[in-house]
Every structure is written in C-alpha cells, then in structure tokens.
A and B are shown apart, each in its own frame.
Chain A
Amino acid sequence: MKKFTSIILFIFVSSAVQALGIPNGQIHGFASQGYLLSDGNNFYGDSQRGSAELREIGVNANWRLNNSLNFAGQLLSRDAGATDNGSLRVDFLFADYKAIENDVTGLGIRVGRVRNAYGFYNETRDVLFTRPGVLMPQAIYYEGNGLRELLFSSDGAQLYSYWDDENSTTSFSLTAGRNKRLSKDVIQNLLGTSTSQIIARGNLNHPVFAQLSHSMSGGRSRLAISMYNVGLDFDTNFLGADGINLYASGYVLSAQHNLRDWSFTAEYSLTTIKYEAGLLGNAKNDIEATYLQTEYRLSPKISLYSRIEYSANDRDNRNATDTQHLVVGTKWSPSRNWTIAADLLGMRGTGGIPDIDNPNGTRERTEILAVMVGYRF
C-alpha cells in the first residue's frame, strides 16, 4: 500500500496548491498509476503475475516575469519496473526569453534543462493525458531499452521560432545540450545488466536535436521532421583497455490528420548507431521503426484507438531482429481531471521488452493488458 500513499498524498497536496495559485503564473500536475498483466515476458515489474510498477507523478509551475521572459519547471517521479525507480528528478527547468514577436513570427531561446523535440510525443511522454494510450509507441520512442533517457531532455540551450501564414504555422527548434555523465541505471538500461558490470563510467557527448514542423488549419493536419545526433563513450573497468564509443544519429518523420471524430497518426524513424570498441572492432547498424495509429472519438469523453507498430533493430537483418506490436485500447475521461485508459497489446519479437525486467531471458511473444488511472490539475 505504501506505493499508493504517494498518489493519495499528491491529490491532497494538489488541491491545496491549486487553491494557492501564483501571481502571473500557474501550477499544474498529474499522477497516474498503472496495472500490467502479461504473458510471455515481463513488462515493468513482475507483470506475468500482475504488476503495479508503473507510476508517474509530476508537478510543474510556470511564471511570467514580463513580456519576454518566462520561467518553467517540472518535478517528476516515475516508476517503471526495473527501468525506472521512482526517484524524484527535475524533468525540465528553464528560462525562456522571447526576443522577437510580431503578428506573423516569433523567435526565442530557452536555457536550462529543456525537453527535446523528437516526434510528436516526446516533450510530454510521461503524461497519460497527452500520449496515445497507456504505453507509448515502443517503436520510435524506445521506452523499454534505455534510449528514452537520452531522448527526453538536454541541459543546454534551445532556439525556437515560428512563422504564421494565413492558414498554417511552421515551427523550428534547435537544441544543443552539454556533455553529461550517465547514471548507472541508464548504462544498465542501455547495455544490459551483464555488460554494464564492466563499465566504470559513461558520458553523453554533444547532444543535438532539431525539429521542423508544419501545422495546417489550426492543427487539423500536422507534419514534422525531427533529427538528432548524440555521442556516448564508456570506460571499462579493465586497466589499459580501450573504451567503447557509440554514436547515434537519426531522424523521425511524423504526420497526423485530425477529423471531427477520427485522428490518424503515423511516424517513421531511422536511427544509425556506430560502435567503436577498440580491439573488439567496430560495427554499425540501422534501427528502423514505424507505427500507424487510428483514434476514434465516440464522444468527447470516450475514445478508442488501435495501433500497428513495426521495428527492426538491424535493418540489414530484419528477419532476425524485427518486432511487431498490435495495440487496441480505450480512454475514458469522466471529468476534466480524471482519465482511465486500457491497452491490449500483442507483440511478436523482443524490441521494446525491457531486458532488466526479464533477467532469465526473453521470449518471442508477449501479450499485455495495461490499465492506467490518471489525475491532473
């Protein structure tokens, strides 16, 4: 029950905070608790017996100092089986200076810990209310295999701009992060439990993210291309041995069309990873991923969705490394503050299955029932 105490506490605290308010600013937050039941493999905790190890709690504040200067920050605690431990961290915290603004364009810069623009959902991926269903598309967003930590935020600067046309908006953002040390958890997620034991330290180097997006008819249709480039280096525990260098770069193409009752979303990504491991040699592989999602709004409160995902961890060796996911789900929002979502997933292949939740190895097929209740204010 201890696990749920934090959620109950959050709801009490949130109503108090809401009543307080801040001048020229706002405070918002969310808390969601999931339950997973799976067959084949574990997904976030011992889900083959039923797991409640999926929980996200966040509180954010924004404050406007004057016309051009804004501040925003969010604290987040996320528990996701063995891949995330629920510790409290600063999700984002930045100053936002808007240097130019007129009727058709704007240009500004954010400095601090900023969310990287990557695909449609990365910037708010931990908020049940903003993502498609309980679980993010595993293709593209790499929830289970450690890349998420590298994708979601950068400590650095983000240049942003937009141009409004009569019936469309074009936006651009460019994020450059500074180098940072990787935590043990991130290294374990990335390299697996056994390999990570020979790693003394790891660093993330020169992360760069860029996104160009185009939105037509006030968001009825959206297109985006996102690109990124990061370097990683790992020192091993063996004296005199060469370290391991890894370079990841890639792009995501995103498209969405929104009708009154229907929404169609598709994303495609290609990621190239180059390894340089000294005497162990060099290697390169292309990870390809795509999904197609359909959402139907039965009413403003209830939606149904389905998604087909495909990914190949090595594009040159698809047959041995590909994964397919089929997802159907429903979301019910009885009030503005509450949402309940349920996903049913069928997976073939092990892409997106967290290795560290399955220490005895993974199986080829997985079925998951995932249910999540979320509260926001």
Chain B
Amino acid sequence: MGIELVNRPRLFIAMLLLWPILASNSSAASTTDLPVTLIAHESVNLDKLNTSTLRAIFSLRKRSWENQTPIKVFVLPDNHPLHKHFCKTVLKIYPYVLRDQWDRVIFSGVGTPPTIVKDIEELRRTVRSTPGAIGYAPAEISVSIQQYYATTPTGL
C-alpha cells in the first residue's frame, strides 16, 4: 500500500488531531421535552427508588425487588427519543454508555439483559402485565392510568 504512516509522524499526528475536528458538526441532540416517568407492575413499590438504585436496576446489577420478585427491565429502542430522554434526565447516563454496559452483560453472560419493545403502547401493556416489571412512559400518559403505580423518583 505504501502508506508509511509511521515514517511520517507529523502527517500522522496531524491526521489524529484533525480528523475528529474536521468531521465534527454542531450535532444538536434531538431530545424531546416530554416529561418522563417510571412505570412498574403493581407488585412493585417505586417509592424508595433513588438515582443510585435506578442505575443499579437499569445497569442490570440489581436483580430482585425487596419482596423477592425478580426485576424485569423493559425499554424502548436505543434511538427512541423517550429512551434517550429517560437516560439523560432520570438515570443521568449517556445512552451510549448504558448500551455499552448492556452489551457487556449480553455477550459475557453476567446478567439478564433488558427486553426491548417497539413502542410506548407496548411498553405500557407489557409492564402492566408482567410481575416485577419496570419501565418508563411519557408522564402525562402514565398519570392518567390508575393501574400504574407511577411516580417521579425523589432526589432526581
């Protein structure tokens, strides 16, 4: 190929430095301003959850609720605006960092990966019908449905 990169350190260093800068753009994040709230199966008490516990649940470290029901995490696809919004405002984790954590779990077998459902409606339905389930929904939808024990966690 004749591309003797190592022979030309200055060229290479220039490439290293300039590539990301040349490629950068304003990349305005397309987040929604929708308030997001946690939803869970009626068997689950969301009252006492703080950011740290929520991170342990959504990072798949914590596996069961206090009443010994197994935790089942349901989420929307990575690129769904509500998922991104939930990661940033509730978990305070970049979505790609959470994805990296999940992929480490999936491909090393050290936990139960979250179940991805296709839209908000399916997420609500699945969480309502699955004991131990936790997920999220736009705030105005969840408060209008009485079956949910929906709340905004304290300390966020």
| Chain A residues proximal to chain B, CB less than 8 Å | 25-26, 28, 30, 37-39, 58, 60, 62, 64, 66-68, 70, 72-74, 92, 94, 96, 98, 101, 103-104, 106, 110, 115, 123-124, 127, 129-130, 160, 162, 164-167, 169, 217-220, 258, 260-262, 294, 296-300, 304, 306, 308, 324, 326, 328, 336, 344, 346-348, 365, 367, 369
Contact = CB atoms under 8 A, between A and B. Distances in A.
A64 B69 CA distance: 12
A262 B23 CA distance: 13
Contact of A115 (B53, B55, B108): B108
Interface string B67-92: 01010000001110000000000011
Given A123-B104, A130-B100, A369 B1 contact: yes
B100 A296 contact: no
The size bracket of the interface on B is 35 or more
A365 B79 contact: no
Contact of B12 (A258, A261, A326, A347): A326
B154 to A, nearest CB: 13
A225 B64 CA distance: 29
Nearest to B3: A367
Nearest to A61: B109
B23 A298 contact: yes
Q: Which of B51, B95, B112 counts the most chain A CB atoms within 10 A? A: B112
Contacts of A101: 62-64
B96 A300 contact: yes
A169 B60 CA distance: 13
Contacts of A110: 110
A298 B107 contact: no
B24 A296 contact: yes
Contact of A326 (B5, B70, B79, B93): B5
Contacts of B92: 217-218
Contacts of B107: 28, 30, 58, 60, 74, 123-124, 127, 129-130
A347 B61 CA distance: 40
B113 A28 contact: yes
A22 to B, nearest CB: 12
B104 A167 contact: no
A210 B149 CA distance: 42
A208 to B, nearest CB: 19
Contacts of B7: 365
A306 B3 contact: no
B27 interface: yes
A260 B27 CA distance: 10
A367 B7 CA distance: 11
Contacts of A104: 52
B62 A218 contact: no
A96 B6 contact: no
7 tightest Cβ-Cβ pairs between the two chains A and B: A72-B109, A346-B5, A218-B93, A296-B20, A123-B108, A124-B107, A219-B97
B6 A324 contact: yes
Interface string B1-41: 11111110000100110011001110101000000000000
B111 interface: yes
Nearest to B20: A296
Nearest to A37: B1
A218 B101 CA distance: 10
A219 B113 CA distance: 17
Nearest to A94: B109
Given A167-B52, A298-B27, A127 B63 contact: no
B79 to A, nearest CB: 6
A258 B2 CA distance: 35
A30 B59 CA distance: 21
Contacts of A217: 92-93
Contact of A130 (B4, B27, B104): B104
A130 B5 contact: no
B113 A124 contact: no
A365 B19 contact: no
13 contacts: A74-B109, A96-B110, A101-B64, A110-B110, A123-B108, A130-B104, A162-B61, A166-B51, A304-B19, A346-B3, A347-B6, A367-B3, A369-B1
